[in-house]
Amino acid sequence: MSGPAPGAAAAGRERRRGRIGWLEQTLAGITASIEHAVFTEQHARERGFLQARDPRAKLAIFLALVLAASLSGSITVLAGLYLVVLAAAGASHVPYRYFVKRVWLGIPLVAGIVVIPALFLVPGPRLFDLPAGPLHVAPSLPGVVGGVIFVARVGVSVSLALLLVMTTPWADLLKSLRALHVPQVFVLILSMTYRYIFLFLHTVNGVLQARKSRVVGRTSGAEQRRWISGTMGALVNRAFKMSNDVYAAMLARGFTGELRAYSTYRMRTTDWAVLAGSLTVAAVGVLAGPFLP
Amino acid sequence: MSAGGSRPSHAIELEGVSFVYPDGTWALRDVCLAVPEGGRVAIVGQNGSGKSTLLRHLNGLLRPSAGRVLVRGRETAGVPVERIARQVGLLFQNPDLQIFEEQVADEVAFGPRNLGLTGADLASAVMEALEAVGLRGLEHANPFNLGFSRRKLVALAAILAMRTPIVALDEPTTGQDGRGLGLVEEVVRRLADEGRTVLATSHDMRFVAETFERVVVMREGAIVADGTPDEVFAPAAWEVLRSTHLDPPPAAVVGGALGLGSTPTEAQLVAALRERDARYG
Ligand SMILES: Nc1ncnc2c1ncn2[C@@H]1O[C@H](COP(=O)(O)OP(=O)(O)OP(=O)(O)O)[C@@H](O)[C@H]1O
Ligand SMILES: [Mg+2]
């Protein structure tokens, strides 16, 4: 069995069978795509604009732009930031369709839950009033504007994060955290989390497949939810044991808790220039935001 | 040599080791085992008989509930795993619990780098190990894109690259095809030739009979037989073997019937059968 293949293959098979619950399909799809995109570091190893930058510069740029996005209440600034992100993604050979779809299809799931009540609860003039039985569907203008800005902010931040992760090998990312004086313990926990997530996803996929091969008939939504919640406990347990084992295996190879660096980086002129440019963009965004729609 | 001077030099000594998992499972019961420097010992037994638990005691990942573990004459109690790791390399049964780097070469370099190897020494340790398991040319592959058997070989290379005097292999043959099996056999032989001590668990009785000089049979956490392959696979011991759901290798059965002992080579078997053919046929 090879790494990402089983997840992807299983997802495909499930889609063809057509009577698999969306929950399982989403899980299988997410695990397969995360594994493929992040874990194989397929894009991080390409020769693109961002891949060539010093990871420390990239991390600093990322932090500055995310800060700008979260401070900004202006849709113009957010749109501008997103354009910068798209341009950088293009220059780094990150496939647009994949990049755009991943982010904006995923966000409604998360942000929508937070935003939808706000659309109706925020006081202000109503956009329209649609009577639906005893209820009135009447979103308020400030509620909708707030919702759009919230979704845009999340979208831009997630895009930035995805771009950073996709164009930087994980080990380099961790090393640059150290360079920014993030405590060693924190970096270690992060590095363990990464291993842990991977193993966790594998377990999820394995369990789903094992279950699939045992469940012949149709299962109801309620049954599926019960199964998922029951399984989650067992999975967390198993993943915890796994991460313990992985750590044991590292100790068994003489690991003393010190991350050793393999590639050494040097900030080049381009890195400094890109860093300065991004910091300017972030500053302009934050400062100009209040004067823009 | 130890201070006493009378003790022969042992790579590994287990003295009355018992181990109970936190959930109350008795995984080892009063195990006594001494392996001389340069010894080649196979540990066999049915699933759950305690083989992996035993190996995890060798580098201190598990500590005995009772009894003592000595590595090269020194008691391991109180010595951290990462220090014992300089003496004992342990191949995990499940390679996925061992592999975490994104490139085969990085994975194999992890151990020796922790032991302080750098530069050309590190590179040659990695290349030599990859060569030994037949994975040269896959240095830059992502281990997780390789199949199970090759992931297992990556994990094996990662242990070999540490060049420890003692090597413990938990089921190195699982999932290997003929070629992989041959590579693993070759690895064990070469380690022995270099004077290093090898302990391995396996369910492949042919591999065990042909590659090891001593076989330890475990059942329910205890050692129930311990001897040369000839002794352990001899008809007299089959009952003990079968009590732990192991079958003697076919060669031992045929060899026993032909009066060739229990570890005949293929060539000896063929010759004996030919002779019988000629006599009766
Ligand atoms: N972490 C654990 N917690 C509790 N019990 C365990 C744990 N690991 C193993 N055991 C139990 O200890 C006993 C010995 O297990 P061990 O893994 O050492 O056997 P094994 O001989 O290696 O088996 P296999 O051939 O399947 O690898 C078994 O009964 C097993 O269920
Ligand atoms: Mg085992």
Higher pLDDT, A69 or A133: A69
Q: Which residues of A are less than 8 Å from B82 in CB distance?
A: 251, 254-256
Centre of ligand 2 to C-alpha A105, Å, is: 44
What is residue A2's predicted lDDT score, i.e. its pLDDT?
A: 38
Q: Which of residues 148-167 of B touch A (CB under 8 A)?
A: 148, 158-159, 162
Share of chain A above pLDDT 70, in %: 50
Q: Is residue B113 less than 8 Å (CB to CB) from chain A?
A: yes
- pLDDT exceeds cutoff 70 at A61: yes
pLDDT at A16: 43
Mean predicted confidence (pLDDT) in A160-173: 79
Residue B91's pLDDT is what? 95
Q: Which residue has the tokens 């492949």?
A: B204
Q: Higher model confidence: residue B20 or residue A1?
A: B20
pLDDT band at A13 (very low <50, low <70, confident <90, very high): very low
Cβ–ligand 1 distance for B27 under 6 Å, the answer: yes
Distance B246 CA to ligand 2 centre (A): 15
Cβ(B202) – ligand 1 distance below 6 Å: no
AA letter at B24: G
**B90: contact with A, CB 8 A cutoff:** yes
With 0-12 / 13-18 / 19 or more C-beta atoms within 10 angstroms meaning exposed / middle / buried, residue A125 is exposed
- pLDDT above 60: residue A1: no
Nearest CA to ligand 1 atom 2: B21
Is A138 within 8 Å of chain B by CB?
no
Residue A25 has pLDDT above 70, yes or no: no
Tell me, what's the pLDDT at A12?
A: 45
Contact B103, B139 (CB under 8 A): yes
Residue B1's pLDDT is what? 42
pLDDT of residue A198: 59
* 3-state class (DSSP) for residue A8: helix
Q: Which burial class, exposed, middle or buried, applies to B248 when counting CB atoms under 10 A from its CB (0-12, 13-18, 19+)? A: buried
Residue pair B60/B81 in contact by the 8 Å Cβ criterion: yes
A264 touches chain B (CB under 8 A): no
Q: Is the pLDDT of residue A7 over 50?
A: no
Q: What is the pLDDT of residue B273?
A: 84
Q: Are B108 and B130 in contact (CB under 8 A)?
A: yes
Considering only A120-124, A168-172, B34-38, B198-202, which range has the smallest mean pLDDT?
Answer: A120-124
Nearest residue CA, atom 26 of ligand 1?
B47
- The more confident residue out of A66 and B101 is A66
- Minimum CA–CA partner of A256 in chain B: B82
Q: What is the pLDDT of residue A284?
A: 86
Number of A/B CB contacts below 8 angstroms equals 83
Chain B residues in contact with A40 (beta carbon < 8 A):
102, 142, 144-145
Across the interface, of B86, B100, B145, the residue whose CB is closest to A3 is B145
Pairwise CB contact (< 8 Å): B144 & A248 = no
Residue with the bigger pLDDT between B212 and A174: it is: B212
Do residues A14 and A205 touch, judged by C-beta distance below 8 A? Answer: no
Considering only A145-154, A171-180, B21-30, B65-74, which range has the smallest mean pLDDT? A171-180
Stretch A108-127: mean pLDDT, rounded? 66
Q: Is A254 helix (H, G, I), strand (E, B) or coil?
A: coil
pLDDT of residue A157: 82
Is A114's pLDDT higher than 70?
no
Measured in Å, residue B191 CA sits from the centre of ligand 2 at 22
Average pLDDT over residues A183-188: 63
Predicted local distance difference test score (pLDDT) of residue A8: 46
Average pLDDT, chain A: 71
What does the pLDDT read at residue A191?
62
* Alpha helices (runs of H) in chain A, residue ranges in sequence order: 4-17, 22-34, 55-71, 75-91, 96-121, 141-167, 170-179, 184-214, 221-251, 269-288
Average pLDDT per 10 consecutive residues for chain B, totaling 281 residues: 53 96 93 96 95 95 95 92 93 85 88 90 95 93 86 95 96 91 94 95 92 95 94 86 82 80 81 83 62
Q: What ipTM was reported for this prediction?
A: 0.78
